[in-house]
A = this chain, B = another copy of it.
Amino acid sequence: MKGVDLAEKRYFQHTFDNGLTLLCEKMPGMQSAAMTLLLPAGAANDPPDRSGAGTVLAELVLRGAGSRDSRQLTEYLDRLGLQRASGVGVHHTRFSCAGLATKVLESLGAYSDIVRRPHLPEEGFIAARDLALQSLAGLEDEPRQKVLIQLREWHWPSPYGRNSMGIKEHLEKLTIDLCKADFALRYHAKDAIIALAGHIEFDEVKQAVQKHFGDWDGHGNEALTLLPPPGNFHFEQQKSEQTHIGVAYDSVPETHENYYPARMAVECLSGGMSGRLFTEVREKRALCYSVGASYSSLKGIGSVLGYAGTSNDRAQATLDCFISEIHRLEQGVSKEELDRAKIGLKASIIMSGESTSARAGAIAHDYFMRGRIRTLDEISKAIEAVNVDQVNDYLKRNKPGPFTIVIVGPKELKVPA
């Protein structure tokens, strides 16, 4: 957040010969560091008949790697005091950790074992697949999560919309040999991203990454062919107490020249507690406890995904009000609304600058989407520079819609005209 001189010393970037890119953000005043490792093994490039393969693999590689068996590996990483997570998104499999900076650096060897030299044991595979099947079945008890998964499936082009948790029939057909083949094909250096943020020195990190990942094999993934989603309305009957509503429409991708005006329009719709959806649907009309929409980013694709959970007897009124508030954006936003939205977004940027985990995730995301890191200062200035004419001009020329609507609940709803 300082001048150019200092900013240049905060951010670092290096791509190794094998295609792995290292990103660093040095954060003064921190004792901790965080690491995000993105592998180009997302749900979108699960093999067509093996949806969920990436999720099973992400669990399986943790069950023993390098010189450590499953238990030794877990105990080793716990002895470093690291908070860890892993998961599969649309584009990537992600491994992340945070802790004391020296310990995060020390863990790089174990993480290179995990992604390069996992044992992939048979009994571990059976357990990992069982857990994946259970977690998929558990979705039936979480209609809120379910409607968002289905909204992505019905709005995004295939295979981007695939549920990373997989499909029951596919998971049941999965074998340890197929997992081994997947591993060989999908865990590689080319297009992988490793990002560290916090109390770190770039030279030291670069040396460690070179040592543990420098000779990692790199080959590319095949390009994906995108197909249109199955339709723009989906109703799934479920005997639930509430009706869960998902609404989506297209926006511009992050790299588009209109990204910031488009993003600010979404903030006016649903940023902070004075956002239109919260004010109109929840505060004024008390139609539902939970309502909101947010900008969602895929490579080359931007969209707005919204959710409302409401009692069954108010579901139609909630959907009508939801859609009508989105349409009302076409008439433009006020300067006051935009100012509030800008302040809110800038404050959240500053807050994220105090979280090593948030920054490691953000610079990895930036690099994947844009091929470069945006500094905190750049983001703040870009937000500040948006004026109300730009937003309203954007909204006039890009009326929200057409909408994709997904309903999970006991009764089908009518799509508003």
Contact for A343 among B32, B70, B80, CB less than 8 A: B80
| A323-336 interface code vs B (CB 8 A; 1 in, 0 out) | 00000000000001
Identify which of A206-214, A221-229, A344-352, A394-402 touches chain B: A344-352
Distance to closest chain B CB from A258 (angstroms): 24
Mark A14-51 against chain B: 1 for CB-CB distance below 8 A, else 0: 00000000000000111110000000000000000000
Complex interface bits, A103-142 against B, C-beta within 8 A gives 1, otherwise 0: 1000000000000000000000011101100110111111
From B126, B344, B354, contact of A78 by CB (8 A): B344
Q: A237-277 vs B: 1/0 string, CB under 8 Å?
A: 00111101000000000000000000000000000111000
Q: Which of A3-11, A151-159, A188-196, A279-287 contacts B (4 or more CB under 8 A)?
A: A279-287
- A84 at the A/B interface (Cβ < 8 Å)? yes
Alpha-carbon separation in the docked complex, A86 to B103 (Å) = 36
From residue A346, how far is it (CB to closest CB) to chain B in Å? 7
Partner of A242, one of B137, B273, B347, B351: B137
Chain B residues, Cβ within 8 Å of A1? 31
- Also in contact, A103 and B356, with CB within 8 A (given A289-B131, A339-B79): no
Chain B residues within 8 Å of A340, by CB: 75, 78-79
| Count of chain copies | 2
Nearest CB on B from A80, distance (A) = 7
For residue A362, CB closer than 8 A to chain B, the reply is: no
Instruction: Judge whether B74 and A273 touch: CB under 8 Å.
Output: yes
Q: Is A355 an interface residue (CB 8 A)?
A: yes
Q: Are the CB atoms of B82 and A347 closer together than 8 Å? A: yes
**A309: Cβ under 8 A from any B Cβ:** yes
- Interface pair A99/B138, CB less than 8 Å apart: no
Contacts of A273 in B (CB 8 A): 74, 77-78, 84
State how many angstroms separate the Cβ of A69 from the closest Cβ of chain B.
12
Tell me, yes or no, whether A411 is within 8 Å of chain B by CB.
no
* Chain B residues, Cβ within 8 Å of A351: 32, 83, 98-99
Residues of B within 8 A of A344 (CB): 78, 81
Within 8 Å of chain B (Cβ to Cβ): is A353?
yes
Chain A interface size, under 10 / 10 to 19 / 20 to 34 / 35 or more: 35 or more
Central interface residue in A273, A282, A286, A289, by most chain B CB within 10 Å: A286
The reply to whether B343 and A79 form a contact with Cβ atoms under 8 Å apart is yes
Contact status of A311 and B137, CB under 8 A, knowing A81-B344, A84-B273, A347-B83:
yes
A32 lies within 8 A of B81 (CB): no
Known contacts: A78-B343, A131-B289, A283-B127. The answer to whether A354 contacts B32 by CB under 8 A is yes
Residues of chain B lying within 8 A (CB to CB) of residue A301: none
Q: Which B residues are in CB contact (< 8 Å) with A285?
A: 127
Contacts of A343 in B (CB 8 A): 78-81
C-alpha spacing A79/B309, complex, angstroms: 27
Best-surrounded residue of A32, A240, A273, A310 (most CB of chain B within 10 A): A273
CA distance A283 to B78 in the complex (A): 15
Query: Chain A: residues with CB nearer than 8 A to chain B?
Result: 1, 28-32, 63, 70-71, 74-75, 77-84, 98-100, 103, 126-128, 130-131, 134-135, 137-144, 239-242, 244, 272-274, 279, 282-286, 288-290, 309-311, 336, 339-340, 343-344, 346-348, 350-351, 353-356
Knowing that A28-B29, A32-B350, A141-B143 are A-B contacts, what are 5 other residue pairs whose CB atoms are under 8 Å apart, sorted by A's residue number? A30-B354, A127-B284, A134-B289, A142-B142, A354-B355
Could you pull out 18 A-B pairs where Cβ atoms are within 8 angstroms?
A31-B350, A70-B283, A71-B274, A74-B283, A78-B272, A80-B343, A83-B351, A98-B351, A100-B350, A127-B283, A127-B285, A131-B282, A138-B241, A140-B242, A141-B142, A141-B241, A141-B309, A142-B144
Q: Which 7 A-B pairs have the closest CB atoms?
A: A29-B29, A81-B347, A127-B286, A140-B241, A78-B272, A81-B343, A130-B286
